[in-house]
Chain A
């Protein structure tokens, strides 16, 4: 299974490309074992609405920090270069991360963006198991059964957290760059007003007092613009750190957040989950199946039950046990560690061991319930926030910003007929850029909440939500075979062409 699965998994970047661009751009990973083979992706900028980046497919390698254009690539890069991640992988005996990165990043356990690719649930579950196969290689011979699984899931948890952080920082820097770009526009509008005021003052047509009002506004906007540049730089540095890049690297990321309908969850789907208890329960179940802590608890339970069974059968026999301890952190995540359980059978007839295991099983049940409750609350909070934010984002995108643009058009008409002055005209433009800044801020909150949602749902939420509402744009589902950069393998076609039929049943 591992190699076949691996081969299949290597095709998943295509699905990532689908999901992040809304249009299908084919991409493929080589199944060649050589780690010199870079992951090839055909990319497509995802912000046509604000479009500063050309909409064109480009072939990139994840080795090049100048071409990190989506979070999946950032994660791929981090897997290859981040010391923190390499440390985790190394502890699991995976030294050649660059060789296996495609498997890792394309696993739905790591890449949220893969999930809108509508890959079937069976496949994804298989991938998760596949991932575990790669983990804890050195422990395989020393540990057996549930303990091995526990160690693997511990590593999975750490990796998920690291890659989640890469994803968050990626969005943070894109948001900061987006906001900065708009702030520069606002400052430019203020500059034009101030320059006009200066010229009018020089010509003797505007008092110094009036002129200084425009200067004052310019100064305010320039400070804000400078601050925005610094914020973007700092966030870029934070992403560099997460990616294992040096300060002032060649790293280039887009300067516009994704905001098309294909990028955003629909309010209808989010509302459907919130309002339908069965749907919510299905989401929760799906999430629970993929959450590493749940896997750990399940494995621990199996281990305990096996030992209990053994204890009851082999009365009084001593045992060297390795168990899993799970602790919940204040932020809701969990930390796990291995517990060495050494006991001597001298006067022990086993009763206290049986009751100890039994009480730990009781505790485990309580922990599982507490975890489920916590996840349910996390998910419902995420859903509520996302519903609100996705409505607000759409309102600004579809109504408020176009309204401002229409207003600008009308003021220009008034200006043409000498009914409004140039200051008023430029000020309306400035209002428009300020509205776009509010929009960017909402988009940033949306993507932060979305990342949180993905984390809480163990990256299952996107696919789940997408499965609720039929895709309205069928063209987004089929690969563009005419593209010279998309020699789509057959297996990709079959994967992506029938994904609508897959459901998480």
Chain B
């Protein structure tokens, strides 16, 4: 039997479905992937029940496929996100987001006195907590947590 979610997933002919986004981070995912700046047809649902996340969001983007690096950019706000690649109404591939060990050029360092906020230096971080996702700056050694993440 097909459940409701499955039906909505099947509703696009070609494209990508991103599932298991924490509801409160939906708009961050949209911004990070630049979905607010593309002409593609996009539908999303939010505040859906989720055993894993409490409330989750789901986004469906028609005629759009993502590269691995692009997708890992959302690892910081949606570490458990799952992607379904749809071709001709069929899920042809599934991808999980991977939280990388190192991150460069995606997030700003929270420390205003950091060299990365003072001169043209690409911010680099070590991921010190993969579940809550917090980042230790390679340069100033300060921690940038979820709450203070600002995207480049």
Partners in one complex: no
Interface residues of B (CB under 8 A from A): none
